[in-house]
Amino acid sequence: MSSSRIIRLPPLPSIRDLIKLYKLRAMKELSQNFLMDPRLVSRIVRSAGSLQDCEVCEVGPGPGNITRSIIQNMPSRVLVIEKDKRFTPSLELLAESSPMPLELIFGDVMNFNFEQIFNEDYKMEWEDKCPKIHLIGNLPFNVSTPLIIQWLKAISEKKSAWRYGRVRMTLTFQKEVAERMVAPIMSQERSRLSIMCQNWCRVEHKFNIQGRAFIPKPDVDVGVVRLTPLKKPTISLPFGIVEKVVRSVFNYRQKHCIRGIETLFPKPVREKLASELLLAAAIEPTTRPFQLTVTEFGRICEEYMSICKDTPNYMKYNYRHPSSNYLDNWPEVEINNSSSYE
Ligand code: SAM
């Protein structure tokens, strides 16, 4: 639920005027698109839930339109991480009129470690309720998708911002990406991203914004997504294992799932081990990737781990670069003697 109390900021120039005043032309190379409609801005912020007395970190504030709305929702502290220093004057102006601390950090969010930035008093146990800490951002699409993968890994390891507990995120994505993130089993949009997001988070596709609401107008529409880390992921295995298995299976999206699973193993043992794995996981080899539940992916991962326990080198096997590891000269030997591959 959104906060019912909103504060008014002292009179400030409009974002449109600030953009003109400081000549903040959107830079194509940074994929900058500014959202000018205050109702849509406040709808993004409301999607995060109540921000009252929370610490909020906004990524990619630009001239500060979303930042203004965040401040109006009365958090206890706001941090912004922005790559483009041209926004310094407009963000500083906002910091001066903000009734709560607004701290500006200039840098690349992709290399930013959130480990120490929030107040230790806000820390919660993972199993407890979510901490009063939020991450919010309208980032360029070329940043938001790799960023969410990086953050899912941090969530799986309870590191970076997730050292403070189950920190919630409200972010924008290309509409199609947002649809993939929430896609249920059997849907056309079901993909690697659906499994990865849904394994570690509750994912809510809140609403869409038409491209024409932005200046300059991007070629695509935008989806606003809220992610809440789960107390317990469906697949409690290391991120890298889940990522490898899910990627291998979805590389053959239109094929039977056995085809992708085969690529987890070197050629001589491929068919045998893939069949054994699916048998042990109680999954029909003709199931298509988009028909598999997260739980079924979990069983595939477990069986893959169990095979790799017997032959650890399989873990290093990379189908795309088979010569980049120990399998340089993969011997053509009897497939039922797999222990000799170690
Ligand atoms: N928040 C503003 C809005 O909604 O109108 C600006 C959004 S614009 C799509 C994305 C913003 O993210 C820009 O200000 C851009 O400079 C910033 N940005 C792009 N890449 C970034 C990165 N790697 N780290 C931090 N900020 C980044």
ipTM of the complex: 0.99
Q: What share of the chain is helix, strand, coil (3-state, %, to 5)?
A: 45, 15, 40
Q: Measured in angstroms, how far is the CA atom of residue 103 from the centroid of ligand 1?
A: 16
Can you give the pTM of this predicted structure?
0.90
- What is the number of the ligand 1 atom nearest to the C-alpha of 41? 4
β partners of residue 204: 226
Q: Measured in angstroms, how far is the CA atom of residue 138 from the centroid of ligand 1?
A: 7
Q: What is the pLDDT of residue 32?
A: 82
- Span 248-257, pLDDT tens digits: 999 999 999 9
CA dist 51 and 186 (Å) reads 36
Q: What is the mean pLDDT of residues 330-339?
A: 30
Place of tokens 């969010």: 109
Q: Measured in angstroms, how far is the CA atom of residue 109 from the centroid of ligand 1?
A: 10
CA atoms within 13 A on the CB side of 160: 20
Q: Measured in angstroms, how far is the CA atom of residue 208 from the centroid of ligand 1?
A: 18
- What is the number of the ligand 1 atom nearest to the C-alpha of 35? 5
User: Which range among 54-58, 176-180, 311-315 shows the weakest confidence by mean pLDDT?
Assistant: 311-315
pLDDT bin (cut points 50, 70, 90) of residue 328 is very low
Query: How would you classify the pairing of strands 214-215 and 34-35?
Result: antiparallel
Which residue lies with its CA nearest to atom 5 of ligand 1?
34
Q: What is the mean pLDDT of residues 263-288?
A: 97
Which residue lies with its CA nearest to atom 17 of ligand 1?
60
Q: What is the pLDDT of residue 335?
A: 29
Confidence check: pLDDT of 337 > 60: no
Q: What is the pLDDT of residue 13?
A: 73
β partners of residue 95: none
Reduced to 3 states, what is the DSSP secondary structure of residue 54?
coil
Which residue lies with its CA nearest to atom 22 of ligand 1?
108
- Omega cis (within 30) before 233: no
Confidence check: pLDDT of 334 > 70: no
Q: What is the pLDDT of residue 141?
A: 86
**Helices marked H in the chain — which ranges?**
15-21, 38-47, 65-72, 88-97, 141-157, 175-182, 192-200, 239-250, 257-262, 267-280, 294-310
Instruction: Return the amino acid letter for 329.
Output: N
Output the six-digit token pair for 166.
């189950």
**Are 126 and 231 within 8 A, CB to CB?**
yes
Confidence check: pLDDT of 326 > 70: no
Q: What is the mean pLDDT of residues 18-29?
A: 69
CA atoms within 13 A on the CB side of 37: 11
Q: Measured in angstroms, how far is the CA atom of residue 30 from the centroid of ligand 1?
A: 7
Q: What is the pLDDT of residue 330?
A: 35
Q: Measured in angstroms, how far is the CA atom of residue 35 from the centroid of ligand 1?
A: 11
Across the chain, the runs of DSSP E, i.e. the strands, are 34-35, 55-59, 77-82, 102-106, 133-137, 168-174, 201-209, 214-215, 222-229
pLDDT bin (cut points 50, 70, 90) of residue 135 is very high
Pocket of ligand 1 (CB under 6 A): 30, 32-35, 59-62, 65-66, 81-84, 108-110, 138-140, 143
Output the six-digit token pair for 147.
């960023």
**Are 300 and 281 within 8 A, CB to CB?**
yes
- The whole-angstrom distance between residue 220's C-alpha and the CA centroid of its chain comes to 19
CA separation, residue 196 to residues 43, 176, 245 (Å): 26, 16, 11
Which residue lies with its CA nearest to atom 8 of ligand 1?
32
- Span 186-224, pLDDT tens digits: 999 999 999 999 999 999 999 999 999 998 888 899 999
Q: What is the pLDDT of residue 116?
A: 93
Say which residues have a Cβ less than 8 Å from residue 72's Cβ, sequence separation at least 6. 6, 7, 8, 9, 42
Instruction: Return the amino acid letter for 101.
Output: P
Confidence check: pLDDT of 341 > 50: no
Residues shown for the chain: 342
- What is the number of the ligand 1 atom nearest to the C-alpha of 137? 1
Q: Measured in angstroms, how far is the CA atom of residue 4 from the centroid of ligand 1?
A: 28
pLDDT bin (cut points 50, 70, 90) of residue 322 is low
**Rounded to 5°, angle at Cα 118 from 116 and 120:** 85
Q: What is the pLDDT of residue 29?
A: 62
Q: Best mutation site among 65, 83, 214 for ligand 1, i.e. most ligand atoms within 8 A of its Cβ?
A: 83
Reduced to 3 states, what is the DSSP secondary structure of residue 204?
strand
Q: What is the mean pLDDT of residues 283-291?
A: 98
Q: Best mutation site among 27, 30, 214 for ligand 1, i.e. most ligand atoms within 8 A of its Cβ?
A: 30
Q: What is the pLDDT of residue 254?
A: 93
- What is the number of the ligand 1 atom nearest to the C-alpha of 108? 24
- Whole-number mean pLDDT of the chain? 89
Confidence check: pLDDT of 173 > 70: yes
CA separation, residue 184 to residues 80, 104, 140, 303, 309 (Å): 33, 38, 25, 24, 32
